[in-house]
A and B are shown apart, each in its own frame.
Chain A
Amino acid sequence: MWPFSGEGPALWLALYLLTFALHAVFVSYVLAGTAYAFVQSLRRADDAIAERVRDRLPFMLGCGITAGVAPLLFLQLLYQKRFYTANLLMGPRWGAVVPALIIGFYALYLAKAKVSLRVRRLALATGTLCFLFVAWSWTEIDQLMQADAVWRDMYAAGKRIYGASAIYPRLLLWLGAMLSLFAIVASWWASGPERRKLAVLGLIGRAVSVGAALLLVAAGGATDGNAHGWLYLLVAALAVEAAGWVWMIRAPDGPGLTLVTGAGAAALVCATVVREAPRLALIEPARPEALEAAGFPVFAATFVLGVAVIAWIWRAISDAKT
């Protein structure tokens, strides 16, 4: 099945896209959740969702960073020269994502602690800004990787910011998607009235994404036809998800959340393929050493073991909570 066919890099590509989707779930919760908690702190609202979000944010960021290592690994197999070149061109401005994440991480712990409202606001604002910076940086490097025509001049000029016209619509598209993904995850821990509120946020997020996608297309942004039908699947999944949100608003304790989750997961997987489609042609010819590298059975066995262990941990703490 396109694009997971052919020899060599197909497995890396599949693992890259799947782990990227997993990473996206966690970081969406972190960025949108931090922003949500910040807005609620400004409103001085006694908001149970925000309280719950603040409690979970450090854990979710830990998961997001951990889950982010895997796509970073496979990305370097697929687009090694492009990724390294973009990394070097952006230089210290790219490296700044690490201190930004460290500051954001501690800000989340501070926001979770028993502190004054003023300190909490400051911590959440800091976290939001740090995570926005990281999201912007990733959007930039993703685009710069593909823009070999500008590499030489960008290096000569000593520029650290790429700033192509597609960057901000793409970032906006992602921010909208993040809000929807946050709403889906947060809804699982929410009560009925809270779910209504989250459903509205989920719909707003999708509207922002669709608007940004239209902007991107109007600006001649990257699309690769219908990506062999994945775009149609994406549109269908989004339509089902939207119907699920509406159902959830009308009957918050009904099956709407399950529908939204299923459709949202499908939309995320389809979106990662559609996002990747324009640069699939840029995948570098697999280096023989990488193709011949041993160790896959060890990884596969460890992966199965890891899933089993994490499932056991999940069950153990669920038992403890009950």
Chain B
Amino acid sequence: MDPSPIPYYPVNEFGPLMKGLVIGGVGILHVFLAQFAIGGGMLLYYFERLAQAGVPDTRKFVDGYFKVLVLVSFVVGALTGVAMWFTTIQVGARTIGIMLDEFHWLWATEWVWFAIEIVAGYAFYRFGPQLDDKTRRRLLLIYAGASWMSLFWINGILAWQLTPGGWLDGGGMWAGFFNPSFWPSLLFRTAVAATLGALVACVVINTMDLERAAKAALIRRASRFAAPMALMPVFAAWFMAVIPADSRQWLMGGSMPMTMFVGVAAAASTLIGGYVVVGLIVKKLYINGATATMLLALAFGATAAGEFVREGARKPYTVRGVLYSTSMTPDEVTQLRKDGAVTKDPYPLRDEARYPTAQLRHGAKVHRALCDACHTVHGANALVELTRTWTDDQMRLNVSKLQRTKGFMPPFAGNAADVEALVQFLRWETAGAPASWPISDTPETLAQIATWLDEVGTAPMGDAR
């Protein structure tokens, strides 16, 4: 095994897809389905109470809706949760390792709630029609409560990544769990879950064999469940107020892609909220299946944008103040400035024969170790395109002073030879990977890079908190 204290892992590339897109795709689907399961559970409990109070058609709705919940959420929802775990290992094994080391008992607690949720859900699905009213109600309450508790625990762990709060000052695990963004995140996600539950209900009601008036009555009741949406701007503002200042700046205009995603999430949520609150609740309008599906698709878009914002706001870290997106700790960056980025990396390149010089092989390894987590060479967020117009010296300066080039980039975790090898690798790729390429290692060039590295130091731009 590698004797180095820095754990090196083999790196996989996903062709033109950057890793963020891979984990984003899986994560967004999982979050959407998991939040639907939570909101759906709460909505079903509400409808079961209505059914037991004698409100027509509500019992039929409960049984029909639960089938959708089981077939979609219990299968794809549960398994995309497992997929999240595996994908996170692919993208940032050290990140998930640190989270697990710190929070494994809480993760195990979350697992118990998940197990209760699954057992209660299947019991209701299989035996619901045979159960008496009291047992049905209790079972649904257990299901809804357990699914929300599952959110409660996992939310604390995820929120800790962005705002570790008092944990960074040695406050211990609970200070990390009940971190500054814990409550706004939890309340925001609960409101989203209720909204998704209501929107899916509108789709399901439209598939039921009922008169329009009966459907309209059910829709009015289901749409009330989305009312907490009205509070989402408050929770969002609370979230923005507690996240680190530099993250807030990226979201509020400092980074246009991030700001656009904030805008997309806000606009989609406003449209859904407007339709549901004004149209369905206040004006008591009818919603057909097509429109309900469109709103649900819009909600998926809002979830996608929101998750992108949450992930992006953490940059340059995956765990704020602890681990950079390059899977290096701040102390390791200092160490690698002396030792070199890839000196102890035990894994060779898979395509070594492709590179005409040792320096280019070195550069390819530096790219794999330090850039590959967020960039590709030619595909999404391609380094070749981002640097194409830079001069050689401009590229040397920008890479050396990476955290000043873009504030959401981590400090460069290597020495002058690493910078030059990376610069030559990118130039060679930009030139179309010719069969020969000159070596660039003049003492003057390396000395200039070393000066820039020393000038910028290894501290990140943003404060850890």
Contact = CB atoms under 8 A, between A and B. Distances in A.
A45 interface: no
A299 B350 CA distance: 44
Contacts of B74: 62
Contacts of A152: 346-348
Contact of A313 (B75, B83, B108, B119): B119
Given A66-B118, A293-B103, A302-B112, A88 B12 contact: yes
B122 A62 contact: yes
A247 interface: no
Contact of B135 (A88, A92, A310, A316): A316
A1 interface: no
A63 B349 CA distance: 41
B122 A59 contact: yes
B123 interface: yes
A87 B96 CA distance: 13
Interface stretch (B124-132, B213-221, B438-446): B124-132
A218 interface: no
Given A84-B93, A303-B112, A313 B120 contact: yes
A151 B76 contact: no
A310 B86 contact: no
B105 A293 contact: yes
Interface string A63-97: 10111111011101100110011011101101101
Interface string B1-16: 1000001011110000
Contact of A95 (B83, B346, B352): B83
A62 B118 contact: yes
B79 interface: yes
Nearest to B84: A98
Contacts of B349: 156
Interface residues of B, number: 65
A101 B76 CA distance: 9
B78 A88 contact: no
A58 to B, nearest CB: 8
A293 B101 contact: yes
B89 interface: yes
Given A294-B173, A321-B130, A302 B10 contact: no
Interface residues of A, number: 60
Given A73-B107, A102-B76, A294-B173, A87 B90 contact: yes
Main secondary structure of the interface of B (DSSP, over half): helix
A108 to B, nearest CB: 10
B71 A109 contact: yes
Contacts of B96: 76, 84
A205 B341 CA distance: 52
A3 B451 CA distance: 55
Contacts of A105: 75, 79
A229 interface: no
Interface string B334-360: 000000000000111110100000000
A321 B129 CA distance: 11
B450 interface: no
Nearest to B143: A313
Contact of B86 (A85, A94, A313): A94
A281 interface: no
A89 B12 CA distance: 8
Contacts of A155: 10, 347-348, 350
Interface string B142-171: 100010000000000000000000000000
Given A73-B104, A295-B103, A98 B83 contact: yes
A98 B96 CA distance: 18
Q: Which of A101, A287, A316 has the most CB of B within 10 A?
A: A316
B358 to A, nearest CB: 17
A69 B114 contact: yes
Interface string B63-103: 00000000100111011111101110110010011101111
Nearest to B349: A156
Nearest to B83: A98
Q: Which of B113, B118, B132 has the most CB of A within 10 A?
A: B118
Contacts of A98: 79-80, 82-83, 86
A235 interface: no
A184 B63 CA distance: 33
B208 interface: no
A164 interface: no
B93 A309 contact: no
Contacts of B75: 102, 105-106, 109
Nearest to A308: B116
Contact of B82 (A69, A70, A295, A310): A69
Contacts of B114: 66, 69
Interface string A174-210: 0000000000000000000000000000000000000
A104 to B, nearest CB: 10
A63 B82 CA distance: 14
B109 interface: yes
Contact of A77 (B104, B106, B109): B104
Contacts of A88: 9-12, 89-90, 93
14 contacts: A15-B108, A63-B122, A66-B111, A66-B115, A84-B93, A85-B9, A91-B12, A92-B12, A155-B347, A156-B348, A156-B352, A294-B173, A298-B109, A316-B123
Interface of A: 15, 59, 62-63, 65-70, 72-74, 76-77, 80-81, 84-85, 87-89, 91-92, 94-95, 97-98, 101-102, 105-106, 109, 148, 151-152, 155-158, 287, 289-290, 293-296, 298-299, 302-303, 305-306, 309-310, 313, 316-317, 320-321
Given A294-B172, A321-B130, 6 more contacts: A80-B100, A98-B82, A101-B79, A101-B82, A290-B102, A299-B112
